[in-house]
Each structure stands twice: as C-alpha cells, then as structure tokens.
Amino acid sequence: MAQVPVRPVRGGLPAFLVLAGSGIAGGVLLASCSAPANGTATPREPEVIYDTTCGYCHGHNVGPIIRGRQLPAETIEFFVRNGSGAMPAFKPTEISPQELSALSEWISTSKADSTEHGQ
Amino acid sequence: MNGFSRRDMLRAGAVGSAVMASQALASPLNGTRMLPAEMDRDVFAAAIKELRSIVGNDWVFADAQSTVSYNKSFIPDPEGLYLPSGAVAPASVEEVQAILKVANKYKLPMWPVSTGKNMGYGMATPASNGQMVLDLKRMNRIIEVDPDLGTALVEPGVTYQDMHDYLEKHNLPFWLDVPTVGPIVSMLGNTLERGVGYTPYGDHFMFQCGMEVVLPDGSILKTGMGSVKNSTTWQAFKWGYGPYLDGLFTQSNFGIVTKLGMWLMPKPPVYKPFMVRHPDADDIGKITDTIRPFRMNNLIPNGVLIMGAAYQLAMFHRREEFWSEEGSIPDDVVKKAAAKNGLGMWNTYFALYGTDEIIAATEPIIRGAFEASGGEVLTEEDMGDSPWFHHHATLMRGGMSLEEIGIVRWRGNGGGMVAFAPVAPAKGEEPKAQTVLAKEIMGKYNFDYAPAYAVGGRELHHIIFLMFDKSDPEQEKRAAQCMEEMITRFGEKGWCAYRSSISTMDLVADQYGDTNRQVNARLKRTLDPNNIIAPGKQGIG
Ligand SMILES: Cc1cc2nc3c(=O)[nH]c(=O)nc-3n(C[C@H](O)[C@H](O)[C@H](O)COP(=O)(O)OP(=O)(O)OC[C@H]3O[C@@H](n4cnc5c(N)ncnc54)[C@H](O)[C@@H]3O)c2cc1C
C-alpha cells in the first residue's frame, strides 16, 4: 500500500537528544532527556542544524540554494538573526552564537549538493 | 529566478552591518518608544539588572541590536506598534518564578513565547510596544515519553522536529501530529494557541493532557491529575477533579506554561493518502457536504485540508509567473495555472489509516461519495511526483516540512503575511458564502484570495492568509485595512476567528461580546493584579 517517502535526514540528532539519560527505564517510562538547556549543551554540528532547519526551505523548493556559492559567512549570520522577507529570524536561543558562527562558515565553504533544487 | 542573487546577499550584508552598527549605539534606554508605556527609563534599567542576575548576561537582550531577532514578523505593522523592549531567556522553572517576581516588582510586562514562530499571527512580537519577550526556548527537555501509553511530557522549547528525532532514535512506534511548519515550532506553543494538524490527532488541544503553569504570583499549578501526590495518571486522564482548568491557560495570559502533556498516535500498519480534485471555485459547498458525514462518523479520521488552487500555487511559485497586474489574480488565470500543475480549483487531502482490510472496506464508500460530488479521487500512483501531493501526504502522517512558508513571498521579496481564520459550520452553503465574501473584500484591496479550509469534526477553520509585500509601505497599510474590514464584516455575519494576529486581538475579542470580555478581565485581575503577563493577549488585560 502507498507509503510516502520520508524526507531524508542527512545529519545526526540535535545534541540535547543524544546526551545521557535516554533509554527504557524500569520497562515503563523512557527516562528524561535530561540534557542541559540549549546554549549550555554541546553545540550541534553545522550539518545537523542545516538538515533540521535551513535545508527544509533552501534547496527544497522554497528558499534559494545557498550551498556551494561561497556566500560570505557574515552575510549568512545577518540573514539568520534578522530574517529576510519570507525567512523567519532565528534567535540566539534557537541557534547559539557559537553554533551560528560554525554554521555560517560551513555554508559559506560547503560544496553544492546536487540533490538540492531551486524553486 | 525566485531566489536572491549573490549580489543581493552582499548588499543586504553591507546594509545590515551598517544598520547594526548604528543600532548598537541606540540602546532602548535612549528612547521611550520601545519601553513599556509609562515606564521610567531608570526603572527599566534597574529591572534589566535584576534579570541579568537571574539568567546571566548572555540571556538578557536589552538593546536594539541583540533584540533584532525578536522584532521580525510577517504581519503588517505600519505604525510600529508591536515592538518588544527586549527579551529574557530562562533555563528553568525557578528562573521563570524569579523573573515574574522582578516583573511584578517593576511592573514590567512579559510576553511569553515558546519558540516564537507564531507566523502570520505576530511571530514573537507582543500585542503592545515595550513588553519584554519571555523566551522559553532554552527550556527544551523532553521530560518523559511513556512507550506503553504513548504520552509525552515536554517543555516549551521542544519542537516537533525534536520529538520526531526522539521517536526515531528510540524506535518508538508513534506518530506526531504537526502543523504545516513543524520543524521550527513548539509543541507547547502551538497547542496553547489551539493549533491544528492533519493526522487523526489534528486538534492539538483535544490531545493535550496535563500542564504545569507558573502563575503570576510565582506559585505552581499542575492541572488535571498532576496535583495529586504520587500521581501516575497526569498524562493519562485529562479532566482531573472539579472545574477543568487547562483551557484557561490556552490563548490567554493567566500564567506561564512550563510543561505540557500530549498524546501520541500509535503508528498504523498501513497509511493511504488521497487527493480529491474539484474543478470549480464554487465546488466548496459540495465538498463540505461530502466530507461532513465522514468526519462525523470518523470514516475519514484525519484533519482534512481543502486547499484552494491559489494557495497551492503560492507554495512553489511566485505571482509574477502568472499575473503582473496590481488587481487580484482572476479565477480563470488561477484555474489555468492550476490545471497545468495537475491541480483543481479545490484540492482536498484526506487519508485512511489501519490495515489493508479496513482501508479496502472504507475506500470505495468515500470514493463513491466524492465522485458523486464531481471530484476526481487520486492516489499516489495517479499523482506521481507532484510536490503538492507529496507535501500533504507528508503532513497527514505527521512528517516534517516547511514548504508552505513559500507562500509568504508570493507577492514580493519583502515577504508579508497575516492570517484571518474564521470558523464556519460544516454545511456547504456557509463556506461557500464565506468564500464569496472574502473574495469581494480582498478584491477591493487588490489582494489575492488564497484559501485553505481545515476541516474539524463539525466545522471548518477557513484559513485566509493575506499575502502582501512588506517592503512596500503602501501595501502594508492596505493589508492592515483589508484585514480589519474582513474581520468586521465576517463578524457581522456571526463568523468569528478561532485565533488572531496580535494586531487584531481587541477587534476579535469585541465580537465575542461584553460578558465574555468581562469574565476574562475579572479572571485576569484576580490572577495577575499587576497585569504583567502579556497584556492585550486575546484582548485581555
Ligand atoms: C505558512 C504557514 C503555515 C502554518 N500552518 C499552521 C498549521 O498548519 N497549524 C497551525 O496551528 N499553525 C500554523 N501556522 C501558524 C504558526 O506558525 C504555528 O501555529 C506555530 O506553531 C506557532 O508558533 P510557536 O509554536 O512558535 O508558538 P509561540 O510563538 O511560541 O507561541 C504562540 C503564542 O502562545 C503563547 N505562549 C507560547 N508559549 C507560552 C507559554 N509557555 N506560556 C504561556 N503562553 C505561551 C503566547 O501568546 C505566544 O505568542 C502556520 C504559519 C505559516 C506561516
């Protein structure tokens, strides 16, 4: 019977989900995902953030392709924090300053992904 | 063609740095507009100092530059009435309590957001200037998932993506129910707005079970079974004992919700999505009458979307590809463009869940009814790689997508969108009349009617996203006027919104009548005498 494909997830899991404390506890409850709150947790890898946020629009019919274009990192940071047109702004509580600087650098220097498509 | 060029990006970067540099000098302490009404600058500065001592310097944003992410919204705000004074981001319930103490002491209003992605309704911006955003995103723990009961207890910052990843990682046989913008929005925030999704668990508040709320005086209320000592049923039984309180904390400003219980849908063995294509704009009546009995007897179990052709086109295309005139895009142009893309004027998405036998028994009954209404019933095999079919098939199994954000740039690069969502009973004549009225009013203001109807059990949420170009001040002003006329004239017919943009909260609240407003005001005075939580939210306080 028809089963629609899940969008491929290219990266891993957000850091706070893979930290200690997960698993079946006593066979009843999954123990809490008791990682520290965002910002004090281990920063997520740029690929993970790209896959779980940016990549849903950019290169996916909605936003322009931004990989493989050597866009300046500071411009990327500006767009993320300010938003632009239809793009919402992302706050320091969503993408920490440290994560943003690594993400911008990664996008800026990343190769084009041939599976991405424009609008 | 539709993207921004590298030169645009560079230009924006240059302008951005310039703006940011000048903003850095302009602390809100230098101007009154961004401060809460009647708040002295020194008082604001003293409050900020205390907030910093609670959450640390990094998590208080009190100058124009660091607050910039909190200002972005899609809605029209031609007079600049909805700007926060700053933001504070606690990491724990104790910090929320301490912040509210400071807010009470200085009478500094706090506008809570979970992820602040209330798109089309104001994003993170407050209902009046100068409120401080209480950004709960750092509270992002999935506290508990019960694999037997399929229940979850989450904090405000948990997005649907987080829960999706969690379920996958732990190989748990449950599906989420998502709004169309799941990856970046909060399960808790969406549910408090009484948001909707498209699986059989589509009415989120219906599938919510138990809350923890910090009240304005700092005390903590656990609703339902949560207050019982040693309770094991907090996420299992909604109603508790005595008056049911959870509703008081949805679409309201009576407390800060710090935990929320939700039910998760058991993953069905078989899932089959459908699209029904209807050719004409006035088919909406027939479609509604066809769906109603199936939603009432649950043969169609999910939150059905009836998508107008213009909405569908706007997801992946721009207006200029079809129409370059200032006036509203005519039906025949929309119809032609839709047909080219395998779409009808209305495209109805429903799904069947269960086993092959159950679906084989149900499908012919539903198919027959839709065909009798003049619709073509189509499956994945028929639709091939249609991005629209794929998108809705993803939603109806609670999958992750942001494709609908594309509609925000339909009218131009500036991006602009405000939502009006009146409710209609599921009787064909009423949505038909609503469509006529919406088209007439939007036509008067030169906007395009791009609707979606989200079908509940016995009603439809008529989702009218007014798309405009926010970089054009004249259009922005016109969008605000158009919205006001729509709300007013729909209200005269008894059709009111289920939810509202921050810019029209009073207008909608008035339509629900004086007594309703007074009861809410009395509750507000009792629970929050200093009016420190989200004054103006839903017209309260
Ligand atoms: C194209 C498009 C499609 C959309 N599709 C859908 C859809 O299918 N279904 C749908 O429901 N919505 C939809 N939306 C609207 C919106 O984006 C979502 O509803 C989103 O989930 C709301 O934002 P959020 O989850 O970040 O909540 P937030 O912005 O964090 O919260 C919303 C409001 O709830 C209150 N609040 C939040 N947290 C708390 C708290 N902890 N305590 C007290 N009060 C609180 C505040 O008043 C806040 O303003 C759509 C928007 C767009 C642009």
Return the active site residues of B: 121, 498-499
The answer, yes or no, to whether residue A30 has pLDDT greater than 50, is: no
Residue B7 pLDDT > 80: no
pLDDT higher than threshold 70 for residue A6: no
Q: Could you read off the pLDDT of B354-412 as tens digits, one per residue?
A: 999 999 999 999 999 999 999 999 999 999 999 999 999 999 999 999 999 999 999 99
Write the single-letter amino acid at B362.
Answer: T
pLDDT class of A117 with cuts at 50, 70, 90 = confident
Phi, psi of B173 (to 5 degrees): -85, 55
Domain with CATH 3.30.465.10 in chain B: 142-266
Q: What is the 3-class SS of A60-109, one letter each residue?
A: ECCECCCCCCCCCHHHHHHHHHHCECCECCCCCCCCCHHHHHHHHHHHHH
Q: What is the mean pLDDT of residues B22-42?
A: 62
* CA B384 / ligand 1 centre spacing (Å): 32
pLDDT above 60 (res B17): no
Nearest-neighbour CA in chain B from A21: distance (Å) = 10
A4 chain-B contacts, CB cut-off 8 A: 273, 380, 390, 393-394, 397, 399
Tell me which of B155 and A23 has the higher pLDDT: B155
pLDDT for B15 equals 38
The predicted pLDDT at position A9 comes to 32
The CATH code of the domain at B6-137 is: 3.30.43.10
pLDDT mean over B428-437: 98
The answer to whether the Cα torsion of B88, B509, B483, B473 is positive or negative is negative
Instruction: Tell if the CB–CB gap between A13 and B169 is shorter than 8 Å.
Output: yes
> What pLDDT, on the 0 to 100 scale, is given for residue A119?
59
- Does pLDDT of B249 surpass 60? yes
Of B158, B316, B162, B268, residue with least CA distance to A9: B162
CA distance B163 to B154: 9
Rounded CA gap, B5 and A31, in Å?
Answer: 47
Residue B469 and residue B413 in contact, taking contact as beta carbons nearer than 8 Å: yes
Which of A3, A4, A44, A74 would best serve as a mutation to test chain B binding (most B beta carbons within 10 A)?
A4
Span A79-100, pLDDT tens digits = 999 999 999 999 999 999 999 9
Tokens of A5: 């494909």
Residue A40's pLDDT is: 52
Residue B12 pLDDT > 90, yes or no? Answer: no
- Whose tokens are 């929005």? That residue is B185
- Nearest CA among B96, B66, B107 for reference residue B84: B66
CA B77 distance to own-chain centroid: 18
Q: Which fold has domain A46-109?
A: Cytochrome Bc1 Complex; Chain D, domain 2 (1.10.760)
Q: What is d(CA B345, CA B284) in angstroms, rounded to the nearest whole number?
A: 9
A119, A64 contact by CB (below 8 A): yes
Rounded CA gap, A77 and A83, in Å? 10
Interchain pair A53, B184: CB under 8 A: yes
The Cα angle at residue A112 between residues A107 and A117, in degrees rounded to 5: 105
DSSP state of B521: H
Token pair of B341 as six digits? 């893309």
Q: To the nearest whole number, what is the mean pLDDT of chain A?
A: 75
- What confidence category does residue B277 fall into, taking pLDDT thresholds of 50, 70 and 90? very high
- At A61 the pLDDT is 86
B310 in Cβ contact with B449 (< 8 Å): yes
- Predicted pLDDT of residue A22: 32
Q: What does the pLDDT read at residue A21?
A: 31
- The token pair that represents B453 in the structure block: 């109807």
Element (H, E) at B265: strand B265-266
pLDDT at B512: 98
Residue A4 has pLDDT above 70, yes or no: no
Angle at B428 between CA B426 and CA B433, to 5 degrees: 105
Which pair of structure tokens corresponds to residue A113? 């992904």
Chain centroid offset of residue B36 CA: 26
Dump pLDDT digits (tens) for B471-480. Answer: 999 999 999 9
What are the pLDDT digits (tens) for B66-121? 999 999 999 999 999 999 999 999 999 999 999 999 999 999 999 999 999 999 99
Q: Choose which residue among B74, B96, B117, B533 to substitute to test ligand 1 binding: the one with the highest number of ligand atoms within 8 A of its C-beta.
A: B117
Strands A29-30 and B60-61: unpaired
CATH no. for B142-266? 3.30.465.10
What whole-number percentage of chain B has pLDDT above 70? 94
Question: Which of A29-38, B285-294, B482-491, B509-518 shows the lowest per-residue confidence on average (mean pLDDT)?
Answer: A29-38
pLDDT of residue B461: 98
Q: What are phi and psi of B305, to 5 degrees?
A: -110, 130
For residue B47, report the phi and psi dihedrals to the nearest 5 degrees.
Answer: -65, -45
Pocket test for ligand 1, best of B190, B220, B409 (most atoms within 8 A of CB): B190
- Which residue minimizes the CA distance to atom 4 of ligand 1? B180
pLDDT band at residue B36 using 50, 70 and 90 as cut-offs:
confident
Mean pLDDT of B258-287: 98
Of A38, A69, A72, the CB nearest to B13: A72
Q: Is A114 helix (H, G, I), strand (E, B) or coil?
A: coil
In this predicted model, what pLDDT tens digit does every residue of A106-115 receive, in sequence order?
Answer: 999 999 999 9
Number of helical H runs and strand E runs in chain B: 16, 19
> How many other CB atoms sit within 10 Å of the CB of residue B505?
22
Residue B378 and residue B333 in contact, taking contact as beta carbons nearer than 8 Å: no
- d(C-alpha B307, C-alpha B292), whole Å: 16
Mutate to test the interface with A, among B166, B259, B471 (most CBs of A within 10 A): B166
Least confident of A20-24, B464-468, B535-539: A20-24
State whether residue A37 is helix, strand or coil.
coil
Terminal-residue alpha carbon distance, chain B: 47
User: Nearest residue of A to residue B119 by CA position?
Assistant: A88
CA distances for B288 relative to B216, B373, B428, B461, angstroms: 43, 10, 5, 12
Prediction ipTM score:
0.93
Question: Is residue B218 a contact partner of residue B260, using CB atoms and an 8 Å limit?
Answer: no
Distances (CA, A) of B291 to A42, B46, B234, B306, B531: 49, 58, 35, 10, 44
* CATH fold label, B270-499: Vanillyl-alcohol Oxidase; Chain A, domain 3 (3.40.462)
Decide: helix, strand or coil at residue B263. Answer: strand
Domain boundaries, chain A: 46-109
d(CA B187, CA B9): 33
Token pair for B302? 């999910």
CA distances from A100 to A20, A39, A54, A91, B333 (A): 24, 12, 12, 10, 43
Closest CA to ligand 1's atom 19 = B190
Distances (CA, A) of B377 to B277, B336, B415, B423: 7, 20, 34, 26
Q: How far is CA A38 from the centre of its chain?
A: 14
Helix axes B284-296, B429-444, angle to 10 degrees: 140
Instruction: Assign A5 a pLDDT band (cuts: 50, 70, 90).
Output: very low
Q: Which residues line ligand 1 (CB under 6 A)?
A: B 112-120, 136, 156, 179-181, 185-186, 188-190, 192-193, 195-196, 256-257, 404-405, 407, 417, 534, 537
* Burial class (CB within 10 angstroms; exposed 0-12, middle 13-18, buried 19+) of A47: middle
Sorting pLDDT into bands at 50, 70 and 90, what band is B536? very high
CA distances from B502 to B253, B255, B507, B526 (A): 13, 18, 10, 23
In angstroms, what separates the C-alpha of A45 from chain B's closest C-alpha? 15
Reported as a pLDDT band with limits 50, 70 and 90, residue B501 is very high
How close does chain A come to B398, measured CA to CA in Å?
10
Residue B379: what residue type? T
- When comparing pLDDT for A41 and A50, which is higher? A50
Give the number of other Cβ atoms within 10 Å of residue A115's Cβ. Answer: 9
Judged by CB atoms closer than 8 Å, whether chains meet at A85 and B415 is answered as yes
The pTM is what? 0.92
Of the given ranges (B31-45, B266-280, B491-505), which has the lowest mean pLDDT?
B31-45
Report the sign of the C-alpha dihedral through residues B291, B315, B470, B124, in that order.
positive
- pLDDT over 50 (residue B282): yes
Could you give phi then psi for residue B375, rounded to 5 degrees?
-95, 155
The answer to whether A114 and A58 are in contact (CB under 8 A) is no
Q: Is the pLDDT of residue A23 over 90?
A: no
Q: Chain-wide mean pLDDT for chain B?
A: 94
